[in-house]
């Protein structure tokens, strides 16, 4: 899968991509990420990429010309792939959106800076707008890296393990069960006995129940959309019953 990232801060993108898993994916030819400095497409002496907003008010706005020249210079006019803008005004990113984006073999990511970009870029160049959540950042670079990381790890072969991303939170629709590794006792804290038992059916059931318990405690909204077995439902009914009994105890 190929990504072309357009930014005024190319130096913040590349280091993360040189960390272990994405680095290996690039070396293996499974992932191609090209980072382009929008400033390289300016034609004025001082390489200016921003200007004051029409209508007044504070802050600066990214000029349209260097952005169009950069994206069209690399990807043609019109661009040969979808152009995603990272912005809090976009559709909220989640695991389902990440999965959807794996259908593309080539995406462009446009990172804003300053107070934002000239609206004509959104209207005539950008094809999709993505937010990674309801908070403000100084630019779209971290959201672009978040998107690349989440999508690239779904590309077959990027995670070494052939089971890959199958066990992840949000793939099952549930939060993950607790993980443990050696030693079996650390500072007096024991690994749950069931995990040392070698009884794979019991381990699978324990993990499933831990996932259900965590999801019920922390993200009950997720339980609405998930496929539950009859054993899952029985376990959750017992949680609800124990909770009601506990509440009554506190009252009485």
**Cα of 37 vs its chain's centroid, Å:** 23
Q: Which residue is nearest to ligand JA5 (CB)?
A: 112
Residues 112-141 that bind ligand JA5 (CB under 6 A): 112-114, 116, 131-133, 135-137, 139-140
Q: Is 10 in the site for ligand JA5 (CB under 6 A)?
A: no
Shortest distance in whole angstroms from residue 49 CB to ligand JA5:
12
Residue in this structure with the two tokens 């000239």, named with its chain if needed = 118
Q: Is 144 in the site for ligand JA5 (CB under 6 A)?
A: no
Active site residue 153: yes
Spatial contact of 157 and 28, defined as CB atoms under 8 Å apart: yes
What's the rounded Cα separation, in Å, for the pair 178 and 172?
Answer: 15
Q: Is 99 in the site for ligand JA5 (CB under 6 A)?
A: no
Q: Is 64 in the site for ligand JA5 (CB under 6 A)?
A: no
Shortest distance in whole angstroms from residue 172 CB to ligand JA5:
25
The tokens for 182 are 């050696």
Active site residue 178: no
Shortest distance in whole angstroms from residue 67 CB to ligand JA5:
12
Shortest distance in whole angstroms from residue 132 CB to ligand JA5:
4
What's the rounded Cα separation, in Å, for the pair 250 and 246?
Answer: 6
Active site residue 208: no
Spatial contact of 38 and 67, defined as CB atoms under 8 Å apart: yes
Choosing from 37, 143, 152, 177, the residue that interacts with ligand JA5 (CB under 6 A) is 143
Which one is catalytic: 88, 113, 118, 143?
Answer: 88
Spatial contact of 111 and 87, defined as CB atoms under 8 Å apart: no
Active site residue 115: yes
Strands 2-7 vs 106-111: parallel, antiparallel or unpaired: parallel
Task: Pinpoint the alpha helices (H) of the chain.
Answer: 10-17, 20-27, 64-75, 95-101, 119-124, 141-152, 193-196, 200-218, 230-251
Spatial contact of 3 and 146, defined as CB atoms under 8 Å apart: no
Q: Is 79 in the site for ligand JA5 (CB under 6 A)?
A: no
Residue 145 vs 175, nearer CB to ligand JA5: 145
Stretch that binds ligand JA5, among 14-22, 82-90, 210-218, 240-248 (CB under 6 A): 82-90
Spatial contact of 115 and 61, defined as CB atoms under 8 Å apart: yes
What's the rounded Cα separation, in Å, for the pair 152 and 64?
Answer: 29
Shortest distance in whole angstroms from residue 136 CB to ligand JA5:
6
| Contacts to ligand JA5 by CB under 6 A | 86-88, 112-114, 116, 131-133, 135-137, 139-140, 143
**Which amino acids are annotated catalytic?**
88, 115, 153, 168
């Amino acid at each position: 899968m190929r990504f072309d990232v357009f930014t005024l801060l190319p130096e913040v993108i590349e280091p993360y991509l040189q960390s272990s898993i994405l680095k290996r994916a690039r070396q293996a030819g499974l992932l191609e990420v090209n980072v382009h400095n929008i400033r390289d497409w300016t034609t004025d002496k001082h390489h200016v990429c921003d200007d004051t907003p029409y209508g007044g008010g504070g802050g600066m706005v990214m000029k349209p010309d260097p952005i169009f020249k950069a994206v069209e210079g690399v990807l043609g006019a019109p661009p040969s792939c979808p152009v995603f803008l990272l912005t809090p005004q976009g559709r909220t990113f989640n695991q389902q959106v990440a999965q959807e984006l794996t259908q593309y073999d080539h995406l462009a990511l446009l990172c804003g800076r300053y107070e934002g970009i000239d609206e004509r870029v959104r209207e005539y160049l950008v094809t999709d707008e993505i937010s990674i959540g309801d908070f403000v950042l100084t630019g779209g670079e971290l959201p672009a890296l978040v998107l690349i990381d989440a999508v690239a790890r779904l590309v077959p072969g990027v995670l070494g393990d052939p089971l890959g991303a199958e066990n992840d939170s949000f793939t099952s629709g549930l939060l993950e069960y607790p993980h443990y590794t050696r030693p079996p006792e650390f500072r007096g804290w024991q690994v749950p006995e069931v995990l040392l038992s070698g009884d794979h059916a019991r381990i699978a059931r324990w993990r499933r129940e831990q996932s259900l318990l965590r999801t019920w405690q922390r993200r009950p909204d997720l339980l609405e959309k998930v496929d539950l077995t009859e054993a899952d439902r029985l376990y959750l009914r017992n949680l609800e019953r124990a909770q009601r009994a506990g509440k009554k105890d506190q009252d009485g």
